[in-house]
A and B are shown apart, each in its own frame.
Chain A
Amino acid sequence: MTAYDERLRHGADPKPLSGASVERGLSGALQFTIAIAVIAMVVQSLYVIDARPQDLVTGFHGMVDIISRALPPDFSKFRSEIWPTLETIDIAIFGTVTGVILALPLAVLAASNVTPARWLYYVARGMISIARVVPDLVWALIFVAAVGLGPFPGALAVSVHSVGMLGRLFAEVIEQMDMAPVEALSLTGARRIQVFTHAVLPSVIPSLLGITLYRLDENIRSSLVLGFVGAGGIGFQLLTAMNLFQYQEVSLLLIIVFFVVLIAERGSAILRARLS
């Protein structure tokens, strides 16, 4: 019911609506339309994914069965899981470090305020976009095909995807920086590279480090999944254990994953807090 209807219901004169009332009415109509659109979106998604909530009920026994077979976790295999865990962490470290090394120059070229030439800006933006829009899982499949199974293709996949993610965020940080010190140093006759290392970098480095730490945290999560396509690490162990129905090993691996992700997340958050 609109404000106009409300006034009529309380016996008010049916005067024309004021500007504010019309606005309120329109906004109400708009809200109604948005609500209908949202409901329509949800309904169509349920239809497209062929959602069958009843299957959750019938499948409940299966889930209980898997969980009961996964308990207790097989801690006797802990020692053999240390190396894949280290592989997973190192895939993330390699991917992040090489990602930063490649993303920084690309970000400089892709930042509209410091790029040396317009065409370089577009080339750098294009490269960053390609690296970013292709999911790391797809990069992993490509590199597994190129260099074979193992952690190395996983590290390459994380690296390339990081170039895309870091390149975009680094470029945004550089674009938002205060340009006055940069211009001031340029006018002293300093060379372009000197202006970059003495004015641009010192201004943006805390932000870049914060983004890098966040990326490392994200890359550890990504490298856990990449094992599913043969790119080494703990994900590969998880896939193998599931295929062999060794659910007690699966539960051990999930506990390891939980702690690795938790430590990476907390460590990254603490370091970022210190930086800021």
Chain B
Amino acid sequence: MLEVRGLSLRYPNGKQALNNVDLTVRPGELVIVLGGNGSGKTTLLRCLTRTLTPTGGSVSVAGRDITALKGEELRQARTRLALISQHASLVKRRSVRANVASGALGHYTNFMTSIGRLPREELASAHRHLEEVGLEHLAGQRAGTLSGGQAQRVAIARALAQRPRAVLADEPVASLDPQAAEEIMQLLKRLAKDDNLAVLCVLHQVDLAYGHADRVVGIRDGQVAFDLPREELERERVSNLYLSEAA
């Protein structure tokens, strides 16, 4: 479970980037966040991963408040929260298998992992995660040789290797063609159900949100404009999200 309560962020220059955001993502649920440019979507994700420290409110992952954590506690908390970004951000010179297995490094403190070795059990698990994303046949290939869609699937497998309780995805299909984008969204939805993960995904593609979300959250000017099940969401409300941007 991912719970956000009254989350706010005011920058030192006085700009209110997030204002009292409430949000809950339950295990097995895919929640999609929509909003125009500068509405606060990415800032929200950055507060959830604690790359930005919110100025108010709280973030809980699997019942643990991570809002005020620092140092070693924050590092440990991050192992429960996986982030899939717009670009897969793989280490291009390493194999696909090594990239996936490296997602689990946060669970290890031994010397061998500190000198660049990967635990044998994680390399074996990497195969299982690659099977889940349909890329087990590319395990030994260099990550730099993958297509955009394949790289994004590997990033998802890496997120699974992390053994997270919640997954955040920041525009994971922004640089993909429509078919690859559809496949990635199907994969995220399946993982939410099969692995009982809380998945929060920021998107710009409204049609994908209608096609895959369990719930859709609209963000505008740093505030939640709506939080509705997909079936109850009217197109007009979504269009209104982008009005101020168009104006």
* Distance A185 CA – B108 CA, assembled complex (angstroms): 13
- Is B237 on the interface with A (CB-CB < 8 A)? no
- Is B91 on the interface with A (CB-CB < 8 A)? yes
* Distance A267 CA – B1 CA, assembled complex (angstroms): 59
A187: contacting residue among B83, B94, B107, B115, CB under 8 A: B83
A184 and B89: CB pair below 8 A? yes
Q: Are A188 and B91 CB-contacts (below 8 A) given A180-B85, A193-B114, A198-B116? A: no
| Chain B residues numbered 83-116 whose CB sits less than 8 Å from any CB in chain A | 83, 85, 87, 89-94, 98, 102-109, 113-116
* Distance A199 CA – B158 CA, assembled complex (angstroms): 14
**Interface size of A in residues (CB-CB distance below 8 Å):** 20
Chain A contacts for B92, CB-based, 8 A: 181, 203
A188 and B94: CB pair below 8 A? no
* Distance A46 CA – B150 CA, assembled complex (angstroms): 64
Chain B contacts for A183, CB-based, 8 A: 89
- Is B147 on the interface with A (CB-CB < 8 A)? no
Chain A binding surface, main DSSP class:
helix
- Is B19 on the interface with A (CB-CB < 8 A)? no
- Is A11 on the interface with B (CB-CB < 8 A)? no
* Distance A206 CA – B142 CA, assembled complex (angstroms): 15
Tell me how far the C-beta of A200 lies from the nearest C-beta in chain B, rounded to whole angstroms. 9
* Distance A201 CA – B93 CA, assembled complex (angstroms): 10
* Distance A202 CA – B77 CA, assembled complex (angstroms): 26
- Is A190 on the interface with B (CB-CB < 8 A)? yes
Tell me how far the C-beta of B158 lies from the nearest C-beta in chain A, rounded to whole angstroms. 7
A188 and B89: CB pair below 8 A? no
Q: Are A190 and B87 CB-contacts (below 8 A) given A197-B116, A198-B116, A202-B94? A: no
- Is B76 on the interface with A (CB-CB < 8 A)? yes
A185 and B105: CB pair below 8 A? yes
A188 and B105: CB pair below 8 A? yes
Chain B contacts for A205, CB-based, 8 A: 93
Tell me how far the C-beta of A199 lies from the nearest C-beta in chain B, rounded to whole angstroms. 5
Chain A contacts for B105, CB-based, 8 A: 185, 188-191, 194, 198
Chain A contacts for B108, CB-based, 8 A: 194
Chain B contacts for A202, CB-based, 8 A: 91, 93-94, 116
A198 and B76: CB pair below 8 A? no
- Is B82 on the interface with A (CB-CB < 8 A)? yes
Measured CB to CB, the nearest residue on chain A to B117 is A197
Measured CB to CB, the nearest residue on chain A to B82 is A188
Measured CB to CB, the nearest residue on chain B to A183 is B89
B162 and A188: CB pair below 8 A? yes
- Is B75 on the interface with A (CB-CB < 8 A)? yes
Given A188-B103, A193-B114: 17 more A-B contacts, CB < 8 Å: A180-B87, A181-B92, A184-B89, A187-B78, A188-B102, A188-B106, A188-B158, A188-B162, A189-B77, A189-B162, A191-B106, A191-B109, A194-B114, A198-B102, A202-B93, A203-B92, A205-B93
A-B contact pairs, 26 of them (CB 8 A): A180-B89, A181-B92, A183-B89, A184-B85, A184-B90, A184-B155, A184-B158, A187-B51, A188-B79, A188-B82, A189-B78, A189-B106, A189-B107, A189-B162, A190-B106, A191-B114, A194-B106, A194-B114, A198-B91, A198-B113, A199-B91, A202-B91, A202-B93, A202-B116, A203-B92, A206-B93
